[in-house]
Amino acid sequence: MKTTRMIAAAVLFFGSGLTLQLAQAQQPENQMARPSGIGRTEVLRHDLGQPGREVIQVRVDFAPGAAFGMHTHPGEEVAYVLEGSLEYQFEGKPPVTLKAGDSLFIPAGTPHAARNVGSDNAAELATYLVEKGKPLVAIK
């Protein structure tokens, strides 16, 4: 009886660890730790006419003062500010501040950062034209 309990406990212990590993392995490859005060909602994902490429649209919400540090994408990004004021920083260049209705083109692989410089929430619609299957965001 004691041996049966020990085997059952070992199976339960091993099984719970295996379940955790499987759950972690099933998370999307491009899922990353989200900075505090940033919300991302994917609104569209569709193959493009060029093989191996796709378009992804994401609404990115920024709480006041929230920032998304330097990062890159495996393709072009068009950022359209929906509300508030967002400051975009590119390596070696002065920051650019956009308000609702403004847009910005970011070339593939260009390191950049964004932050809400207003006292209210801000949001952008980010449209990515990227290589399919690659992580959408790479932290610099």
In this predicted structure, the answer to whether residue 25 has a pLDDT above a threshold of 60 is no
Alpha-carbon dihedral sign for residues 118, 130, 72, 44: positive
- Threshold 0.85, pTM exceeds: no
Helices and strands (H, E) in the chain, number of each type:
1, 10
pLDDT digits (tens, 9 = 90+) for 45-61: 999 999 999 999 999 99
DSSP E strand stretches across 91-134: 96-99, 103-106, 112-116, 122-131
Mean per-residue pLDDT over the chain, rounded: 83
Position of tokens 């490429």?
Answer: 53
